[in-house]
Amino acid sequence: MNQTMNTRALTQGAVIAALYVALTYVASFFGLSSGVIQVRLSEALCVLPLFLPAAVPGLYIGCLLANILTGCVALDILMGPIATLIGAVGTYLLRRHPRLALLPPILANAVIVPVVLRYGYGMGDAMWYMVGTVGAGEIISVGILGTLLYEALRRRLPAC
């Protein structure tokens, strides 16, 4: 039984990682996955820790692979997945409060990504401006698209 559970969790995490990469590529095609103004469609998946604990490592690995495969700088390859991991863990910890659970990914990315943009990519925009634009993109990705995903899944999947 335990091996079945481990296999299931590993498979769930791998599928989530693959979805994250695929959705990042879609957003990248439209120029939305990086930069000061970004709306990563893949960030909507940050609601999945509400349903599946395996989503936490899946999101981290998905972000790591997406950042490597889309040619991000080293600081982004390191810090982007950490921001996603912080957000995913926060979502999992707040799973009993689904509306509040959407805040950790928004806040983690709004704080960490502007630092990456400044020091990794040399963007000279004001830090508060980048916090606002990245935060707005996360509100669209996680707050709006993630809520839609949550509503679609909550009737079909039991919360963890």
b/e for 123-139, b at 16 or more Cβ within 10 A? beeeeeebbebbbbbbb
Residue 84 in any domain: the answer is yes
Residue 48 in any domain: the answer is yes
Residue 8 in any domain: the answer is yes
Residue 159 in any domain: the answer is no
Nearest 5 degrees, angle CA 132-CA 136-CA 23?
A: 130
pLDDT in tens, the chain (160 residues): 577 779 999 999 999 999 999 999 998 888 887 778 889 999 999 999 999 999 999 999 999 999 999 999 999 999 999 999 999 999 999 999 998 999 999 999 999 999 999 999 999 889 999 999 999 999 999 999 999 999 999 888 776 6
Residue with tokens 């103004």: 37
Residue with tokens 């909507």: 44
Residue 78 in any domain: the answer is yes
Identify the domain containing residue 138 by its residue range. Answer: 2-154
Give me the CATH number covering residue 144: 1.10.1760
Residue 86 in any domain: the answer is yes
Residue 110 in any domain: the answer is yes
b/e for 79-99, b at 16 or more Cβ within 10 A? bbbebbbbbbbbbbebbeebe
What is the model's pTM?
0.92
Instruction: Give the separation between CA 64 and CA 82, rounded to whole angstroms.
Output: 9
Number of domains observed in the structure of the chain: 1
Residue spans of beta strands (DSSP E) within 29-149:
none
Instruction: Give the separation between CA 151 and CA 98, rounded to whole angstroms.
Output: 10
Residue 160 in any domain: the answer is no
The two tokens of residue 109 are: 């990315």
